[in-house]
Amino acid sequence: MFARVRTIENLKSYLEKSVSEQEELLAKMDKAREDGHLRHFLSSNAAYLQALTVYAHESARFLSFIAEEREAEGGGSVTDEAKLNIVREETQRRVINLNMRLTSRSTSLSANQDEDAERAFWIELYQALNGGY
Amino acid sequence: MNKRIKTLADVREFLAHKVSRREDLLAKLDSDREAGHLTHFMRRDAMALVVAVFHADEALKFLAHIQMEKRPDGTAYGDEQKFAEVSAEVAFYVMNRAQSQFSEMNRSTSASNLATDAVSDFYMEFYRHLNNG
């Protein structure tokens, strides 16, 4: 049974997973390069690495937002609950916006794959925040 | 206009270009990664890198073959013979590939399709250079 992201701690561990998975995969790629097996590594991991890079990039952005001390409008600092709400709102906005970009595919495979990974990231995060993941 | 490959020196030049393309992209990957711009690299060049790695790998096999000064049985191995054998091997692959295009039944569902396509692409390009320029 998947857990739903309900607290800022849940969110942090959800996001940190992508960052650490990317680091692990990059370490595997470095090892494959050293051993002269980059071809084998890429035949099974090329698309996965690109998707993880997008996931890790977006996750790292949120993680630094969560870690940052921010001043609230009425004074004091932004609470964890308020930060979680900001993430929820941005995620919802992104998911809605993604549906409006369906007709603007690039002619570049890399760019399309990047966009698909971004789409998957936001949908997964939305599902995690709303329905469990 | 593409240059037609007519001599073993032309073959070497074609193959060396494939290897240097991979080295250039790997250097770009390293510098973008170090600068924290891995996502930008992936968005532009993820597919190009995969293709370049596969092309270079095939090119290195041919380069190793044409570097031999003697055959394994100790007999002389001249440039003209090497050129003829390389041309024959490339033509053989292309003809086999042309036949297998009638059956795509064995297509994998994974990223390994990309590997198959990249290798085919290498041979098709090599064949074209050997025959039409």
pLDDT > 70? residue B95: yes
Q: State pLDDT tens for residues B35-52.
A: 999 999 999 999 999 999
Q: Is the pLDDT of residue A42 over 60?
A: yes
Is the confidence at residue B133, as pLDDT, over 90? no
* Mutate which: B34, B39, B61, vs A, most A CBs within 10 A: B39
pLDDT the model gives residue B102: 55
Residue in B with minimal Cα distance to A107 = B44
| Residue B23: how many other CB atoms lie within 10 Å | 11
Do A65 and A21 form a contact (C-beta atoms < 8 A)? no
- Identify the burial level of B53 via C-beta atoms within 10 angstroms of its C-beta, where 0-12 means exposed, 13-18 middle and 19 or more buried: buried
Kindly tell me the burial class for residue B59, based on how many C-beta atoms sit within 10 Å of its own C-beta (0-12, 13-18, 19 or more).
buried
Measure the CA–CA gap between A29 and A42, rounded to whole angstroms.
8
Mean pLDDT, chain B, whole residue set: 88
Q: Is the confidence at residue B96, as pLDDT, over 90?
A: no
Residue of B nearest to A56 (CA): B39
Average pLDDT of chain A to the nearest whole number: 89
A38 contacts in B (CB within 8 Å)?
A: 53
Q: What is the pLDDT of residue A1?
A: 47
pLDDT at A107 over 80: no
ipTM score over 0.95, yes or no: no
- Residue B91 touches chain A, beta carbons under 8 Å: no
- Which among B92, B94, B93, B66 has a CA at the least distance from the CA of B80? B66
Determine the residue of chain B that is closest to A22 in CA distance.
B38
